[in-house]
Chain A
Amino acid sequence: MKRTQSIIGAISAVLLVMLTGCGSDSATPTSSTSAPAGGTLTVYAAASLKQTFTDIGEQFKTDNPGWKVDFTFAGSSDLVTQLTQGAKGDVFASADTKNMDKAATAGLLAGDPVNFASNTLAIVVAPGNPKQVTSFADLNKPGVTVVVCAPQVPCGSATEKVEQATKVTLNPVSEESSVTDVLNKVTTGQADAGLVYITDALGAGDKVAKVDFPEAAAAVNTYPIGVLKTAADAAAAHEFVDLVTGEAGQKILSQAGFAKP
């Protein structure tokens, strides 16, 4: 009997360790034991901000010695879901106002969000543009396979707006659920052309060629950022937001192709 109990004890101990071990990497901002002028800032940011926000995070660490910045990059709607399900963080940056509104409605925000950048669509084609796509209407040329985002995701609703503005209805071979999947289909040569954000097109470097088109102005995606109610150190969270909206942050963003909001 005694042996039985000790085995049960051992099993539950192992389970506990496993469970707590799994949980240790979750967002626990600013532990109370750390020095007042330091801690960890947890930022939830849209996947398209990965490069720029990582750079801004480095800047934040330089400006505020003793601070660390933890990022969670994912699709904006995924992030809102995680936050409503109880994930704790300090700052949330969304790739569209729709998802920021969702966060506001769910009561996640402390104060009003600020718009800090905007992004528009661009056409990406294989390097050298072999199918000679030079305008939005060219995407409907025979023999050109086009991949776009599905209307359910932000880049897809932007695509729909451009279609309405140009009165050109595309016939895509695939409607992907993320802009990265669209880009990937073009970089791997599966599709001839795709509609992605300018920043994605620039981020892909020489693996694709970018074709701008004037009608992209019909669908400007605005990026808002806000401080979360769960922020452990609201002052630090506001400081991060100020960095993003300030000169240093805006420079990093514009270098990546983001426009002013």
Chain B
Amino acid sequence: MTRSAGLPRWLYLPAAAGAIFVVLPLVAVAVKVDWSQFWTLITSRSSVTALELSLRTAAISTAMCIVLGVPMALVLARNDSRWVRWTRPLILLPLVLPPVVGGIALLYAFGRLGLLGRYLDAAGIQIAFTTTAVVLAQTFVSLPFLVIAIEGAARTAGADYDVVAATLGARPTTVWWRVSLPLLAPGLASGAVLAFARSLGEFGATLTFAGSREGVTRTLPLEIYLQRESDADAAVALSLLLVVVAAVVVIGVGSRALKPGGAGGW
């Protein structure tokens, strides 16, 4: 009652239309599933392998995003130099790039003949067609999500406590571990959930850059895309599985952390 105070009533109509628009396709998937076969389809060897690979690579990618993204977000939030301001849109670019473009870009950077890849290849390090390629693709597309979430949290929290801690004699590293980071925990949680969910759904960049081989690079979205060619029922069942896994992640872990701004909701 009190929550909706002040909202014009007509607003509920487009809001409801939007909600139906988002939910209806998901319901359609659930309706389309051949429930008598569902369990058999999602527990087939290739499905289980793909799900396991997806969860494993998404977890590693999220960890990579945290390790790289938290420092990036802090620098973006606290350093106002011109150089940093110019870098910001560049770093956030994968957010709006079509994944397939990301895949092509990664190919020409880390591929066998790529900018960096040719030296790695000469050193005997192969990235193409390995699980590493999947993790790289997922990290590439997910990193901006995490950076944005944490940068927002860092700006909201402000630098006041850090400054106070520093004037009390704490070294920058101590301030970082004892003050800055704990204040960012809510933003970190929402950012990590977003990054994990995005990694789980990564398709375009993986297909373009990593290839598709069972147990090595064929994640659940790739398996769904392939199954669709020959067995539509299996593709639908796997789609529902992916919806459920994503829902568990977002609702179970992240619904509180995913509140706007991240910081206020924990």
Contact = CB atoms under 8 A, between A and B. Distances in A.
Contact of B232 (A81, A172, A173, A177): A81
Query: DSSP majority for the B interface?
Result: helix
Interface in B230-266: 230-232
Contact of B14 (A4, A11, A173): A11
Interface stretch (B50-58, B143-151, B209-217): B209-217
Contacts of B111: 188-190
A152 interface: yes
Given A185-B211, A190-B112, A177 B10 contact: no
B225 A190 contact: no
A188 B107 contact: yes
A175 B212 contact: yes
- Which are the 7 A-B pairs with shortest beta-carbon distances? A174-B211, A189-B113, A152-B230, A173-B129, A152-B229, A4-B10, A190-B128
Contact of B107 (A7, A175, A177, A190): A190
Contacts of B113: 188-190
B223 to A, nearest CB: 10
A150 B212 contact: yes
B226 A173 contact: no
15 contacts: A8-B13, A15-B17, A150-B212, A152-B229, A172-B213, A174-B129, A174-B213, A175-B212, A176-B211, A177-B207, A181-B207, A185-B211, A190-B107, A190-B129, A190-B211
Contacts of A191: 128-129
A113 interface: no
Contacts of B213: 172-175
B124 interface: no
Interface residues of B, number: 31
B227 A176 contact: no
A147 interface: yes
Contact of B8 (A4, A77, A153, A177): A4
Contact of A8 (B10, B225, B226): B10
B79 to A, nearest CB: 37
Interface residues of A, number: 26
B3 interface: no
A85 to B, nearest CB: 11
Interface string A174-217: 11110001001100111100000000000000000000000000
B227 A174 contact: no
Interface in B5-59: 8-10, 13-14, 17
Given A8-B10, A189-B111, A176 B212 contact: yes
Interface in A99-116: none
A177 B129 contact: no
Contacts of B112: 189-190
B129 A145 contact: yes
A89 interface: no
Contacts of B222: 177
B13 A177 contact: no
B127 to A, nearest CB: 10
Nearest to A153: B229
A121 B2 CA distance: 69
A29 interface: no
Interface in A65-104: 75, 77, 81
